[in-house]
Structure formats: C-alpha cells, structure tokens
Amino acid sequence: MMITMTKEAKNQLQSLTLAEHLLPRIDAHVAGGCGLAVNFLFIFDQPRKLDTLYYSHGMAIQVDYVTQQYLYNTSVTVDYNEEDGFCAITEFTFDGNSCS
C-alpha cells in the first residue's frame, strides 16, 4: 500500500498538535446488515495491536490488519478540505446490499 498526501493535508497535519497517545490512521469503516459496505476514513486514534506503520512526508500513519487486507497493492491519497476535513481517497469503495 502506498500512501500519498496532498499539500493541503500535509499543511493541516503539520499545524495540529496531537495528544501524545494519538496518531493518524487510515481505517476501514464497515457498515453491514445483510451485506457489507466498506469505505475508508482518515482519523486520529490510539495504536492497535498488529498495526503497520506507513510514512508519508515523515509522518507515521497507522493501518490495522483488516484495513491492510482491503488496501494492499493500492494507493491511498490523504486529502484535506475545510468542508469535509481529512479524507482517505482510495481506488475503490466496496458496497454490499441489504434486505428485509
């Protein structure tokens, strides 16, 4: 997995003072029911066991085991804008279905 960062994201990250126990993370967010939909978030979070650290512009970004499974061999771009905040832009999202 290759992580790149836009200039806006880099500047915003460098301007933040994070609490000591928090690090940036790219995280698979799963919504389910009868099917699964997976999209990817850029959040600030505590380390999890079995995390892998990736570096972009000298900044460490955590990725857990499940998220890596979804994003291996892909590139992820971290972006920032005033309206949405940080976003992890991936090559795909993964939608499921639902039923009654």
Partner 1 sequence: MKPYHSLIFEISQSDRSAVDLPESDVDTIELNDKFPSHLLRETEAELPEVPELQLIRHYTALSNKNYGVDSGFYPLGSCTMKYNPKLNEDVARLEGFSRIHPYQPEETIQGALELLYQLQEDLAVISGMDAVTLQPSAGAQGEWTGLMIAKNYHRQNGENRSKVLVPDSAHGTNPASAAVAGFETVTIPSNANGRVDVEALKEHVDHDTAALMLTNPSTLGLFEKDIIEIADIVHQAGGLLYYDGANANAILGKTTPGKMGFDIVHLNLHKTFTTPHGGGGPGAGPVGVVKELTPYLPVPRITKEGDQYRFDTEEPLSIGRVKGYYGNFGILVRAYTYIRTMGPEGLRQVSESAVLHANYLKKRLEPYFVAPYPQICKHEFVLSGINQKKLGVRTLDIAKRLLDFGYHPPTIYFPLNVEEALMIEPTETETKETLDAFADTMIQIAKEIEENPMMVLEAPHTTVIGRLDETKASRKPILRYTKHE
Residues in touch with partner 1 (CB under 8 A): 28, 30-34, 36, 46, 48-51, 64-66, 69-72, 91-92, 94, 98-100
Other beta carbons within 10 Å of 64: 18
Q: Shortest approach of partner 1 to residue 53 CB, angstroms?
A: 13
| CB distance 36 to 99 below 8 Å | no
Short-list 53, 40, 50, 28, CA closest to 79: 40
| CB distance 22 to 40 below 8 Å | no
Of 4 and 68, nearer to partner 1 (C-beta) is 68
Of 17 and 100, nearer to partner 1 (C-beta) is 100
Q: Shortest approach of partner 1 to residue 24 CB, angstroms?
A: 17
